[in-house]
């Protein structure tokens, strides 16, 4: 039985039945043990008393002694036997001594002749019945000429024990029947309120919150009933509150300007708002359908598929002539994905125009700047020393403007949404060594030590070699430019699936308030120092974009007077090619 009533009833019944069986056995065994002990004690006391009476009469007429022993046995209710040292039966209360065999080998007789009280139980060879024997030595003149043995028939014990067993069986049967009735009542008293509680919870599960569990006769059950009733009331209130919140949330989702869809792990649509259905061209309510069945735009359907299967978290997708910025986030508890769509067509168009303007401006500016630099270099040869000072200023600023134009062009390329990387297996240590070699002359001119260290057995990294060189050039150039004395160290290593490049210097360091903005375009810590040393304010922004394109990261640690350390992390094996495009 799997019900509470059945289990509790069977449990109570089993306990009572076991007790009803074990108790009689224990009582019977105890009674038997005590009867045997009492019999041995009585036989011993009787034998010891007879020893004092019979010791002076051992040399009397055997017939007279036998008659005396017979009278004593009849009065005492025991069998009495007197045995000499050679085993001859001198007298016996129940049998003719002459017809009895030699008793020298009887265990209790042997023990008695050794000066102790002997006890044994066995079937009598003379009478053919099981008997209990006790023998004590008869002491005379310092010796033991004979022993007195008393014995008792076990049949008398069995009669007593049989009567006791019958009485115990009657009592055990009565206890078992009473226990059965009590177990039935207790089990029913426990199971009935629990069945009522189960019935109440089933009704609550079906939406009936008006049900209440009735109270019973047990305090514990009443406490549980009160808790369940309180839980039902609380649940009713929470359900009402949750329904109101769900209605509000549903209204908010449906009125959102941006598209939103929630998809389960199998691609089934949990919910979607009107903006999403409009974007994907769906006509009706898609809830419960697979997204493939109602998303008509193939690019949009493909992106949702990549979100579900490849773990893409953000990107852009075009649908019906519009551009949407898409972001996805998972709900770990349910395994669902929340995907939001924001129409960024106008923003994308503005960004495109900005990129085109920057690219065109860079192209248009570079030509005259190159000409200005060329004319200035030519004029340097034909002017005096005072005029050369002005020419050098023109050349220095022309070089700075050319670098700014070049960096703007690179940054514009990196920010283009369709920018891709030319990936290959790259020996990071080799690229670092070759790039560092470009700056050894400049470092030596400033009295700086340029140190390159690489871990042994560094695995090749999947990266765009040209872009990787741009990262190293910007970081090493900055370190050499702003370090007045000491050293610049470039280290490569690997940790946690990432290849790392660390560029550290012994320069002046950077205050903490600048660290959060140092990778922004045109942000410089010291504008005057940056201009005097030819900085453009774009190098670190380029480093950040290239690292992000690879699915990596860049970090900086620095403090005034302690130098700076820039660390770039690149995944050794990127997740997928899609993760290496600009979102």
DSSP secondary structure of 60-113: S-HHHHHHHHHHHHHHHTSEEEEEETTS-EEEESSS-GGGSPP-TT-HHHHHHH
Contacts of 459 (CB under 8 A, 6+ apart): 494, 499, 572
Q: What angle do CA 401, 405, 410 make, to 5 degrees?
A: 145
What is the torsion angle, in degrees rounded to the nearest 10, for the CA atoms of residue 12, residue 16, residue 22 and residue 23? 140
Query: Residue 583 has what pLDDT?
Result: 42
SS3 call for 546: helix
The closest alpha carbon to 468, from 440, 499, 511, 512, belongs to 499
**Sheet of strand 89-92, all strands in order from the earlier edge strand to the far edge:** 89-92, 79-84, 143-153, 130-140, 118-123
Contacts of 115 (CB under 8 A, 6+ apart): 137, 144
Query: Residue 284 has what pLDDT?
Result: 63
DSSP 29-63: HHHHHHHHHHHHHHHHHHHHHHHHHHGGGTTS-HH
Query: Residue 6 has what pLDDT?
Result: 63
The two tokens of residue 583 are: 């979102």
Distances (CA, A) of 145 to 51, 133, 135, 520, 525: 12, 19, 13, 126, 128
Strand partners for 336? 331
Distances (CA, A) of 422 to 316, 318, 468, 580: 21, 24, 11, 10
Query: Residue 358 has what pLDDT?
Result: 63
The two tokens of residue 469 are: 């060189």
10-residue stretch averages of pLDDT, the chain, 583 residues long? 63 73 74 79 86 83 86 86 90 87 89 90 73 89 89 75 77 77 71 73 74 67 76 78 79 76 81 76 67 74 77 70 78 80 74 66 66 72 74 72 69 68 89 92 92 88 90 91 91 89 92 84 64 65 88 91 92 59 43
Query: Residue 41 has what pLDDT?
Result: 87
**Sheet of strand 449-454, all strands in order from the earlier edge strand to the far edge:** 449-454, 487-495, 498-505, 564-571, 553-558
The two tokens of residue 20 are: 């009803």
* Contact predicate 435/471, CB 8 Å: no
Query: Residue 210 has what pLDDT?
Result: 73
Distance of CA 18 to the CA centre of its chain: 42
Contacts of 369 (CB under 8 A, 6+ apart): 398, 401, 402, 405
The closest alpha carbon to 415, from 363, 364, 352, 470, belongs to 352
Rounded Cα distance between 263 and 337, Å, is: 5
* Contact predicate 501/452, CB 8 Å: no
Residue 276 burial by CB count (10 A; 0-12/13-18/19+): exposed, middle or buried? buried
The two tokens of residue 154 are: 């076990």
Query: Residue 450 has what pLDDT?
Result: 94
Query: Residue 363 has what pLDDT?
Result: 60
Rounded Cα distance between 497 and 481, Å, is: 32
The two tokens of residue 342 are: 């924001």
What is the torsion angle, in degrees rounded to the nearest 10, for the CA atoms of residue 553, residue 559, residue 565 and residue 569? -20
The two tokens of residue 155 are: 């049949």
The two tokens of residue 353 are: 């125009």
* Contact predicate 414/546, CB 8 Å: yes
The two tokens of residue 359 are: 């690219």
* Contact predicate 80/150, CB 8 Å: yes
């Amino acid at each position: 039985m799997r019900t509470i009533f059945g289990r509790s009833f069977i449990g109570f019944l089993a306990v009572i039945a076991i007790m009803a069986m074990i108790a009689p056995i224990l009582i019977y065994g105890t009674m038997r043990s005590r009867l045997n002990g009492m019999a041995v004690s009585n036989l011993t006391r009787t034998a010891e008393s007879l020893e004092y009476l019979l010791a002076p009469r051992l040399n009397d007429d055997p017939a007279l002694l036998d008659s005396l022993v017979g009278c004593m046995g009849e009065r005492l209710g025991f069998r009495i036997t007197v045995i000499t040292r050679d085993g001859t039966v001198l007298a016996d209360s129940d049998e003719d001594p002459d017809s009895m065999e030699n008793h020298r080998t009887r265990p209790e007789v042997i023990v008695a002749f050794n000066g102790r009280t002997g006890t044994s139980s066995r079937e009598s060879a003379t009478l053919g019945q099981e008997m209990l024997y006790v023998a004590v030595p008869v002491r005379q003149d310092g010796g033991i000429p004979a022993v007195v043995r008393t014995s008792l028939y076990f049949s008398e014990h069995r009669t007593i024990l049989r009567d006791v067993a019958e009485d115990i069986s009657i009592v055990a049967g009565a206890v078992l029947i009473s226990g059965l009735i009590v177990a039935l009542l207790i089990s029913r008293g426990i199971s009935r309120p629990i069945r009522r509680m189960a019935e109440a919870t089933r009704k609550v599960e079906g939406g009936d919150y008006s049900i209440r569990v009735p109270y019973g006769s047990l305090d514990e059950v009443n406490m549980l009933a009160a808790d369940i009733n309180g839980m039902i009331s609380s649940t009713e209130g929470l359900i009402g509150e949750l329904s109101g919140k769900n209605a509000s949330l549903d209204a908010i989702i449906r009125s959102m300007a941006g598209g939103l869809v929630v998809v389960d792990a199998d691609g089934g649509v949990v919910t979607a708002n009107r903006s999403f259905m409009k974007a994907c061209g769906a006509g009706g309510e898609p809830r419960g359908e697979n997204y493939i069945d109602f998303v008509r735009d193939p690019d949009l359907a493909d992106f949702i598929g990549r979100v579900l299967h490849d773990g893409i978290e953000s990107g852009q997708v075009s649908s019906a002539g519009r551009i949407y910025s898409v972001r996805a986030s998972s709900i770990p508890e349910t395994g669902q994905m929340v995907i939001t769509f924001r129409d960024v067509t106008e923003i994308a168009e503005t960004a495109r125009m900005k990129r085109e303007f920057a690219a065109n401006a860079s192209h248009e500016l570079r030509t005259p700047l190159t000409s200005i630099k060329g004319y200035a270099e030519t004029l340097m040869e034909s002017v005096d020393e005072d005029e050369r000072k002005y020419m050098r200023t023109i050349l220095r600023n022309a070089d700075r403007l050319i670098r700014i134009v070049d960096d703007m062009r690179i940054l514009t390329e990196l920010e283009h949404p369709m920018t891709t990387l030319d990936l290959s297996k790259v020996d990071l240590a080799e690229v670092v060594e070759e790039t560092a070699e470009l700056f050894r002359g400049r470092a030596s001119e400033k009295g700086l030590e340029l140190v390159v260290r690489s871990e042994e057995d560094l695995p090749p990294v999947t990266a765009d070699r040209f872009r990787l060189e741009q990262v190293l050039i910007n970081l090493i150039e900055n370190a050499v430019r702003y370090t007045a004395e000491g050293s610049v160290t470039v280290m490569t290593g690997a940790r946690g699936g990432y290849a790392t490049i660390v560029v550290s210097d012994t320069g002046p360091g950077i205050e903490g308030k600048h660290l959060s903005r140092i990778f922004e375009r045109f942000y410089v810590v010291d504008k005057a120092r940056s201009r005097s040393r030819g900085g453009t304010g774009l190098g670190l922004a380029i480093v950040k974009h290239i690292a992000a394109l690879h699915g990596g990261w860049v970090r900086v640690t620095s403090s005034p007077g302690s130098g700076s350390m820039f660390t770039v992390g690149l995944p050794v094996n990127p997740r997928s090619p899609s993760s290496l495009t600009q979102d």
